[in-house]
Amino acid sequence: MSVLVISDVHADICAFEAILSITTDKRFMQKYSEVEMILNLGDTVERGYHPREVIDKLKALETKLPVISLRGNHDEALLLDRPVSGSDMRSREAHANPTAYVSFLRALPDCYLNRANHVLAVHGGPIDPSVLGNDWLYGRSWQRISSRSYLDASGYHYTPREAFEHVKQTYGAGYVILCGHDHDEAAYSDRLGDLLKVMRAEQSRYAGYRVTSLWITRDPSTSYLVRVGIAGPEGYHRVGRERSHFGLMWRHNGRERIGLFSFTPIP
């Protein structure tokens, strides 16, 4: 069995459906096994054009397998009526009446912790905001990976080293920290630093999509920080972003692997 990790769907129902088509493709399941759980790391809404359809799909999936959805900064901003840049007029109109799904957004937690498998999932960052300060921008939904630590109008920027140290002190060693928020994929370990250049790369075709994957075998004594990238680029097509991303954790020959996937339609 495997765990599907998505983030920043951003009301893009077509991209979400594409991810589900890929991960239920017979050849994909033969290689990576059947998805037994979905982790949705937040920013389910805004930027794109189909918020209700995405949330309805998440609810429908909950009847078939565990689905854990977290609160992203855009989800929070919509609830609190705090403007976040980026949504065009069509997106704002699509989100003009959130009554049908506001209860879904209000119930979202800011993190998911699996102590048995040493996994911590968040939208932005893993640091307990109470140790950072009182500003709401310290919240886990607003944290983001950076080369140095600082707070600005976009949230709290933290380093991978800071994340590893905080999680080790709070929960223990050997955790996989899963996040989204920024839209490019990234991967770090507390032993090797940046992992993208050392991850195994593969290209395949599933369900009518050209899929690129990067993966690494998990070392239980090592901590990882993995940002899965944007799942729903619909609201960003106007700025040239076309690729959709998702993450996957699965077992192969008794060992766990961590993968980053991206795809585009086959012409």
Q: Rounded mean pLDDT of 52-57?
A: 97
pLDDT grade, residue 87 (50/70/90)? confident
Residue 61 vs residue 83, higher pLDDT = 61
Residue 238: pLDDT band (50, 70, 90) is confident
Give me the amino acid identity at 153: A
Q: Starting from the edge strand earliest in sequence, which strands make up the sheet with 35-40, in order?
A: 67-69, 35-40, 2-6, 244-252, 255-265, 209-217, 200-206
Residue 239 pLDDT more than 80? no
Which of 40-49, 83-92, 157-166 is least confident?
Answer: 83-92
- Give me the mean pLDDT over the 17-34 stretch: 97
Mean pLDDT computed over every residue of the chain:
95
Instruction: Provide, rounded to the nearest whole percent, the portion of the chain with pLDDT above 90.
Output: 91
Query: Identity (one letter) of the amino acid at 165?
Result: E
**pLDDT value at 8 more than 90:** yes
Q: What is the pLDDT, as a whole number, of residue 169?
A: 98
> Over 90: is that where the pLDDT of 267 sits?
no
What does the pLDDT read at residue 100? 84
Determine the pLDDT at residue 86: 76
Per-residue burial over 47-68, b if 16 or more Cβ lie within 10 Å, else e, is bbbbbbbbbebbeebeeeeebb
Rounded to 10°, the helix 51-61/13-23 angle is 30
240 falls in which pLDDT band (50, 70, 90)?
Answer: confident
Of the pLDDT bands very low, low, confident and very high (cuts 50, 70, 90), residue 63 is: very high
Under 8 Å between Cβ of 76 and 32: no
For position 97, what pLDDT does the model report?
87
What is the rounded average pLDDT of the residues 142-150? 97
pLDDT in tens, 90-141: 999 999 988 889 999 999 999 999 999 999 999 999 999 999 999 999 999 9
| Closest among 129, 46, 130 to 87, alpha carbons compared | 46
Q: Where are the domains of the chain?
A: 2-113+194-265
The answer to whether 118 touches 103, Cβ cutoff 8 Å, is no
Residues in a beta bridge with 243 = none
